[in-house]
Amino acid sequence: MAGLLVPPYGVMESGPNTDSKYKHLVVYVCLSLFVSQVPSEKILRAGKVLRNTILSRAPHIIRDRKYHLKTYRQCCMGTELVDWLMQHTSCVHARVQAVGMWQVLLEEGILNHVDQELSFQDKYLFYRFLEDETEDAPLPTEEEKKESDEELQDTLLLLSQIGPDAHLRMILSKQPGQRTADDLEIIYEELLHIKALSLLSTTVSTHYMKLEGISLDVEANTVRLKEHEEDVLVLEKTNNRGSSSSPLKYTVMSGTPEKILEHLLETMKLDSQFTESGTLQCVTQYLPIIFKKTVIMLIILSFFRETFYLLIIVTLITFIHSCDDGRPSQKKHKVLLRQFSTGNDRLQKKQPIKSTDEILFKVYCSDHTYSTIRVPVAASVREVICAVTDKLGSGDVLLLIHLNSAGDKELLKPADVSIFSSLSINGRLFVCPRDQIDSLTPLPEQEGPSAGSMSTFELMSSKDLAHQMTLYDWELFDCVHEHELIYHTFGRQHFKKTTANLDLFLRRFNEVQLWVVTEVCLCPTLSKRVQLLKKFIKIAAHCKEFKNLNSFFAIIMGLGNPAVCRLSHTWEKLPSKFKKFYVEFENLMDPSRNHRAYRLTVAKLEPPIIPFMPLLIKDMTFTHEGNKTFTDRLVNFEKMRMIANTVRIMRYCRSQPFNQEAPQATGKSHQDVRSYMRHISVIDNQRTLSQLSHRLEPRRT
């Protein structure tokens, strides 16, 4: 049926006597009236063969007939034509099959109803072959009869193959109330045997087709599905270069959430089940599931806000072949977030954090005492306050405050979720009544280290440091579920889901960047600072070699921090070789032309890759904020596709496992390097870093 069906997304209504199981059958087919994929010459020849054979073997079938005192010349009766086919071929097992075969000839105008009815019926109705429309139609010669006898079986085989399509088109052309239970049974059975088909074929008529109260407006490169004269789905024709069998396909531009979902569940799920040869696998079991799932989804969606539509739509685009990313499910585990852990858990392989996981978390009071609470990762601010209130036994109305190391206070909203992982590097949560907010002060531990760790890591190989950094970054990156990008972009508060894994990975970028600045600003000796710059440039080069672009950018951005780049005496002492490397690395960070230099570099890399995650987040955010989600009540599907493409970049980067062998240890052992890279301590107060920088090299007067 390739090219004959298009997705109209209507509900096939039943007649008054129809079995109830078909009353709300969602059928995603639409009729392209009287269009055949088989060349007309073959059908014309088939009609001639059948007429000649009937005149040769059963001439009484074609004769003048009377009905209501009117004579109809040289015509056949529908039931007799069906009987004749049943007797002359073994490939027809039911009368409905024979009806479909005669319908093929009727659609092509080779067989016509005497009153120009558009469908063939197995009834006492009169039909006439095209050759008998004229008076004195010639009878077949003996030679023609012989040729027709020889071609009969091939002709019947051809008609039996395309007959079901014609029969289905005939049924779909009926008004909903005219369809019988048998008709709907045929529709259902045919849907279980539909072959691979293009979404919309070029054979679709370029005029409006009315069916089930739905109209289809086919323009040059656009198809608009309308209901009650309003667009509900807009499709655009594109070249499908990857498929030789179907060079054209239609992609969604916009539509209502329901219609887009129906389209995706029908066409994409079907496509995913086809092999290259076009055969459908396990379709008998699969299609009913699609129908049920579609109906259930539409019912569910009617109860949720519009943002839920977006999640489902983007998820369907991106994860159409699976409900998750194919990873084995992990058992529920307790998570201790890094800044409050004992440190041992950081040496263990990271496991993805789930919304249902629980954490132990310290929440401080204004006097720097604290309460340890146990709540789900995705707990809201309101739930955290309730847990702290129960722990303290306080009767005051408490507020939850995020206090960073600079003393800046952020009052968290009651509906905010997953707040634990979104704190600043050295940020802490405080709870207090409103009148005590101004008296809150940072904890001493929030200030960060007072001395650098160069004496420790200068003995470590730069390549080993980069390798251990990449291993840890990969663990964090691999834990980030693709859904978290969607939650982060559209607002996790709408979904009540955590983005903890993504937050921790982004946090790691800031941590590495501040680590570079902290170590340089805490190094009092000029020669040592020069060695530090060389060390960090080497580590950045090895990160680039390991395709860890996230830490590569973090290190280069750390070296470009105002507190570091202003140290002119230090940079003057840096060898020209390293200055050249640094300039090359900076050029990769050039933001001009939408970060073209970086994007070209990534395009040449093969996975596994740890991408520059802040840029992916920026792409998602710009796409979301720069494009309307709904236009005239239709979902802007182009926006959804752009977001999905960004998600696919992340999927591509992780399509291969990271199994880089560790470099040969020099100086410190791999375990020491590993422990160091997972326990870096930083100063995250830019004001403090600037003050330290000016102490090292005061401003020139």
**Residue 520 belongs to a domain:** yes
Report DSSP letters for 312-356, one per residue. Answer: HHHHHHHTTT-SS-SPPPPPP--B--GGGS-SGGGGSPP----TT
Query: 593 burial class (0-12, 13-18, 19+ CB within 10 angstroms)?
Result: exposed
Strand partners, 10: 27
**Residue 29 belongs to a domain:** no
Tell me if the bond preceding 247 is cis, omega within 30° of 0.
no
**Residue 310 belongs to a domain:** yes
Same domain, 384 and 271: no
Q: ∠ at Cα 384 (383, 387), nearest 5°?
A: 90
Domain count, the chain: 4
Same domain, 129 and 208: no
Same domain, 576 and 460: yes
Same domain, 437 and 476: no
Kindly state the helix (H) or strand (E) to which residue 296 belongs, with its residue range: helix 283-301
CA distance 335 to 360: 7
**Residue 654 belongs to a domain:** yes
Same domain, 379 and 498: no
Kindly state the helix (H) or strand (E) to which residue 63 belongs, with its residue range: strand 63-67
Nearest CA among 540, 549, 656, 660 for reference residue 606 = 656
Mean pLDDT by 10 residues, the chain (701 residues): 31 36 32 41 90 91 89 91 87 84 89 86 90 85 90 88 82 75 66 37 34 47 73 73 54 76 59 37 38 43 44 46 42 44 49 84 92 89 92 86 93 88 91 93 93 88 94 94 87 77 93 96 95 96 96 96 94 95 91 88 93 92 87 81 88 88 70 91 95 91 56
The token pair at 506 is 């982004």
Same domain, 371 and 504: no
- Dmax over CA atoms of the chain, in Å, equals 120
HEC per residue, 179-246: CCHHHHHHHHHHHCCCCCCCCCCCCCCCCCEEECCEEEEECCCEEEEEECCEEEEEEEEEECCCCCCC
pLDDT value at position 491? 81
Strand partners, 200: none
Same domain, 582 and 655: yes
Range of the structural domain that residue 46 is part of: 34-172
Interacting residues of 147 by C-beta distance below 8 A, sequence separation 6+: 52
Torsions phi, psi for 495 (to 5 deg): -110, -10
Same domain, 472 and 396: no
Interacting residues of 229 by C-beta distance below 8 A, sequence separation 6+: 215
Interacting residues of 42 by C-beta distance below 8 A, sequence separation 6+: 158
pLDDT value at position 406? 92
pLDDT value at position 13? 35
pLDDT value at position 189? 58
Same domain, 439 and 528: no
> Using an 8 Å Cβ cutoff, are 124 and 79 in contact?
yes
**Residue 441 belongs to a domain:** yes
pTM of the model: 0.61
Query: 432 burial class (0-12, 13-18, 19+ CB within 10 angstroms)?
Result: buried
Interacting residues of 83 by C-beta distance below 8 A, sequence separation 6+: none
Last residue of a domain, one of 172, 203, 225: 172
Same domain, 442 and 370: yes
Report DSSP letters for 517-539, one per residue. Answer: HHHHHT---HHHHHHHHHHHHHH
Strand partners, 399: 432
pLDDT value at position 434? 92
CA distance 353 to 219: 49
**Residue 361 belongs to a domain:** yes
pLDDT value at position 39? 46
Query: 501 burial class (0-12, 13-18, 19+ CB within 10 angstroms)?
Result: buried
Query: Phi/psi class of residue 209: alpha, beta or left (left: φ > 0; alpha: ψ in -120 to 50)?
Result: beta
> Using an 8 Å Cβ cutoff, are 377 and 335 in contact?
yes
Write down the H helix ranges in 69-177: 78-88, 95-107, 142-172
Last residue of a domain, one of 123, 142, 172: 172
> Using an 8 Å Cβ cutoff, are 607 and 652 in contact?
yes
Question: What's 78's domain CATH number?
Answer: 1.10.10.10
Amino acid at 369: T
Cα–Cα distances (Å) from 20 to 197, 293, 351, 490, in that order, read 30, 19, 49, 41
Torsions phi, psi for 201 (to 5 deg): -90, 160
CA distance 493 to 498: 9
**Residue 181 belongs to a domain:** no
Interacting residues of 65 by C-beta distance below 8 A, sequence separation 6+: 71, 72, 75, 77, 126
Same domain, 495 and 622: yes
**Residue 23 belongs to a domain:** no
Last residue of a domain, one of 447, 480, 499: 447
Cα–Cα distances (Å) from 73 to 44, 62, 176, 679, in that order, read 21, 9, 34, 97
Same domain, 152 and 283: no
